C-alpha cells in the first residue's frame, strides 16, 4: 500500500495525536547530574566554559542538591577537585577529600532519596593529570588498578551508592569488583565507562575538574574514535568482569555505538552527554542561533532513541524543570 491510501501526515495533525504515537520519551527518571566537589566552605566557583555549573564546596553542593531531589532527579555523579595533587593521586582515597566528604554529607541529608554515584579515576588527583600511575613515561595499567580499587573502596566507605570507573585501564571492573566484595561492599553496583572515547568534547570538563594532562594525551588508554567493534569488545569484557551498567561516552557523536550496544547487551545502558556537547549548545544558544530548550530536548531524545536507558547530562536540572512545567 502506498500513496494516496497511506498518508503518514494523518497522525501528525495535532499535538494530542502526536503524543499518542510518540515512540521515545525523556523522563526525569533518566537523568543523572554531574557535580564538581571542591575543598573549602561557601565556595561556588563558576566554570566559565560551562554556564550554570560551579565547583562547589561540600556545604554548597549539599544545598544545591535540595532542588535536585525536589525535582525528582534520581542521581548525581560526583567529581573531585582536591586541595593538593601529587604523583600518585593519593587524594583519591583520602577520606577527608571533597568527594568523600560530599558523599557522606549527601547521604546524611537525603538518604535513599538520592543515588550518589562517584567517578573513579586518577586524573583529578595526579599532578601530571593522567588517569593512572606513570612508569617510564607511560600510564602503567596494572599498577593503576590498585589505586583505583582503593579509591572505589574509599568512596564506598563514605557511603557511595554506586561507583563509576572512567579510567579505561584494562581489567579494572573485575579488579574493583573483587576489592569491593572483599571490603563488604558486594551490594554496590559498578557503572562502567565501557566505551569511552579519546574525545575533544571533554575540553570544558578539564577546566572544571582541572584535570588536563600536563604532557601527552589519553590516546594510549581511551578508545580511538573511529572504532566500533572494539567498543563491543570493551563492553563484553566489562559484562564478564561484573559491570552492572554499561556506558558509552560521549553520547551525541557516538549514537551508532549506543544502538549497537542496545542490540548486543541486556544490561542497563548509560550515555554521557559530555561537557563539550553541553557547552556547544549553550554557546550557540547564547548567540541566538538556536532555540536552547528545543535543541537540548532534541539532543537528549536522540540519545534515548539510540538506546540509552539513562543519561548523564549537565542539562539535568533544566530538563527536569521543563518536564515539571509541562506537567
Ligand atoms: C575522568 C573523566 C573525564 C570525563 C569524565 N570522567 C575527562 C577525561 O577523560 O579527560 C569527561 C566528562 C565531560 O567532558 O563532561 N577520566
Ligand atoms: Zn581520568
Tens-digit pLDDT profile for residues 89-134: 999 999 999 999 999 999 999 999 999 999 999 999 999 999 999 9
User: For residue 169, how far is its CA from the centre of ligand 2 (angstroms)?
Assistant: 10
Q: Residue 1 — very low, low, confident or very high, per pLDDT cuts 50/70/90?
A: confident
CA atoms within 13 A on the CB side of 92: 33
* Residue 274 Cβ < 6 Å to ligand 1: yes
Q: Which atom of ligand 1 is closest in space to residue 202's alpha carbon?
A: 14
Q: Mean pLDDT across the stretch 175-184?
A: 98
Q: Which atom of ligand 1 is closest in space to residue 168's alpha carbon?
A: 16
SS3 122: coil
CA–CA separation, 109 and 318 (whole Å): 23
From the CA of 312, the nearest ligand is 1
* Residue 279 Cβ < 6 Å to ligand 1: no
Tell me: pLDDT of 173 over 90: yes
* Residue 191 Cβ < 6 Å to ligand 1: no
CA–CA separation, 38 and 84 (whole Å): 11
Q: Mean pLDDT across the stretch 22-40?
A: 98
CB contact set of 94 (below 8 Å; sequence gap of 6+): 82, 100, 154
* Residue 166 Cβ < 6 Å to ligand 1: yes
From the CA of 278, the nearest ligand is 1
Domains of the chain: 25-326 (3.20.20.70)
Amino acid at each position: 500500500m502506498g500513496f494516496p491510501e497511506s498518508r503518514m501526515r494523518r497522525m501528525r495533525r495535532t499535538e494530542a495525536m502526536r503524543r499518542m504515537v510518540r515512540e521515545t520519551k525523556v523522563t526525569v527518571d533518566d537523568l543523572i547530574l554531574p557535580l564538581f566537589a571542591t575543598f573549602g566552605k561557601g565556595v561556588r566557583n563558576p566554570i566559565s566554559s560551562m554556564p550554570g555549573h560551579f565547583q562547589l564546596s561540600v556545604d554548597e553542593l549539599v544545598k544545591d542538591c535540595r532542588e535536585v531531589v525536589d525535582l525528582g532527579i534520581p542521581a548525581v555523579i560526583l567529581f573531585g577537585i582536591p586541595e593538593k595533587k601529587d604523583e600518585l593521586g593519593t587524594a583519591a582515597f583520602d577520606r577527608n577529600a571533597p568527594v568523600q566528604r560530599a558523599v557522606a554529607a549527601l547521604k546524611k541529608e537525603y538518604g535513599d532519596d538520592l543515588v550518589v554515584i562517584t567517578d573513579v579515576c586518577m586524573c583529578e588527583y595526579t599532578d601530571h593529570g593522567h588517569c593512572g600511575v606513570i612508569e617510564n613515561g607511560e600510564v602503567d595499567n596494572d599498577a593503576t588498578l590498585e589505586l583505583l580499587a582503593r579509591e572505589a573502596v574509599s568512596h564506598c566507605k563514605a557511603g557511595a551508592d554506586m561507583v563509576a570507573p572512567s579510567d579505561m585501564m584494562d581489567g579494572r571492573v573485575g579488579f574493583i569488583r573483587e576489592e569491593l566484595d572483599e571490603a563488604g561492599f558486594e551490594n554496590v553496583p559498578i557503572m562502567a565507562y565501557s566505551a569511552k572515547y579519546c574525545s575533544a568534547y571533554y575540553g570544558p570538563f578539564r577546566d572544571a575538574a582541572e584535570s588536563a594532562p600536563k604532557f601527552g594525551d589519553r590516546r594510549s588508554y581511551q578508545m580511538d574514535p573511529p572504532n566500533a567493534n572494539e567498543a563491543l569488545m570493551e563492553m563484553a569484557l566489562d559484562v564478564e568482569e561484573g559491570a552492572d551498567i554499561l556506558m558509552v561516552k560521549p553520547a551525541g557523536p557516538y549514537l551508532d555505538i549506543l544502538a549497537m550496544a542496545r542490540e548486543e547487551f541486556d544490561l542497563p545502558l548509560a550515555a554521557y552527554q559530555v561537557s563539550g556537547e553541553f557547552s556547544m549548545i549553550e554557546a550557540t544558544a547564547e548567540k541566538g542561533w538556536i532555540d536552547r530548550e528545543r535543541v537540548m530536548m532534541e539532543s537528549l531524545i536522540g540519545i534515548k532513541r539510540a538506546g540509552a536507558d539513562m543519561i548523564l547530562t549537565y542539562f539535568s536540572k533544566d530538563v527536569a524543570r521543563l518536564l515539571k512545567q509541562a506537567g
